[in-house]
Amino acid sequence: MSKGGSGHGAFRKQPMVWPKLPFILVKLFQIICCSIVLSVMVFFSYHLRKDNYQVPWQFISLAILSAISLFSVFAVVLLFCCRVLNALFALILYSVLSLLWAFGTGILGKGMGGNTIRNCNTWRSSQGIAVCHLYKTLFAFCILGWFSMICGVILASSVRRRASSHKYQPANPTSLQQTTAYIPQSGIGQTSVPYGQGGTYKAHDSHTTYS
């Protein structure tokens, strides 16, 4: 087999074993959270632009973050299906995303102020109550989106740790024992050479040198 074929086969081989059920559950959790946050952001942005209001930068940031997160999740799923998903790559990716989601959730909570805990009935209109509930839904799924990225970090860390523990197998003691190699002689006899002598061995009973 050529070197190119061997390298291609090594690339196609799954470098680490991912548990299928936890992987699928975490990805579904992430997709649901990111999709809901992105949908609410698009809804708010559309109506604000329609009424000639400026879209808050917090909304724009969360919309971009949720879109990037969705793209990243689908990219990870694609790598998993192609059996080339590396746990270190996933660990770094979800660590960065979890930090971004924590930041996005924090700025959203700060921008909403007391609306996160205030009773929606105080808005005194059906439209205001609906907007209040959407705000709370958005904030709740931002927290869940951050938690879903933390789940991704935990899963990738677990896979990487398990792969590292099986990377080095204990050596077989019998394979480390000294063995002897038989060297044929020309009518002189047999000579045993310690395994690993290396280089050239000169038999003591003859003038013949074996390489």
Q: Could you tell me the two tokens for 168? A: 């080095």
Residues 197-206 have a mean pLDDT of: 45
pLDDT at 113 over 50: yes
Number of structural domains found in the chain: 1
Asked if the structure places residue 95 within a domain, the reply is yes
pLDDT at 167 over 60: no
What is the domain extent for residue 156?
20-163
What is the pLDDT at residue 8? 46
Asked if the structure places residue 3 within a domain, the reply is no
pLDDT at 51 over 60: yes
3-state DSSP assignment of residue 184: coil
Asked if the structure places residue 181 within a domain, the reply is no
Q: Could you tell me the two tokens for 199? A: 């280089």
98-107, 114-123, 139-148: which range is least confident on average? 114-123
Asked if the structure places residue 117 within a domain, the reply is yes
How far is the C-alpha of 156 from the C-alpha of 90, rounded, in Å?
A: 6
Contact between residue 205 and residue 188 where contact means Cβ atoms under 8 Å apart: yes
The larger pLDDT score, comparing residue 3 to residue 95, is at: 95
- For the chain, how many residues are written? 211
Percent of the chain with pLDDT over 70: 70
**Average pLDDT of the residues of the chain:** 78
3-state DSSP assignment of residue 191: strand
Asked if the structure places residue 77 within a domain, the reply is yes
What is the pLDDT at residue 120? 81
Asked if the structure places residue 204 within a domain, the reply is no
How far is the C-alpha of 16 from the C-alpha of 33, rounded, in Å?
A: 27
User: What pTM was computed for the model?
Assistant: 0.69
Cα 58 to Cα 42, 51, 96, 142, 143, distances in angstroms: 13, 18, 19, 12, 15
> Would you tell me the crossing angle of helices 20-50 and 57-81 to the nearest 10 degrees?
150
Torsion on CA atoms 62, 63, 66, 72, rounded to nearest 10: -120
Asked if the structure places residue 74 within a domain, the reply is yes
pLDDT at 68 over 80: yes
Q: Could you tell me the two tokens for 75? A: 């990219």
Asked if the structure places residue 202 within a domain, the reply is no
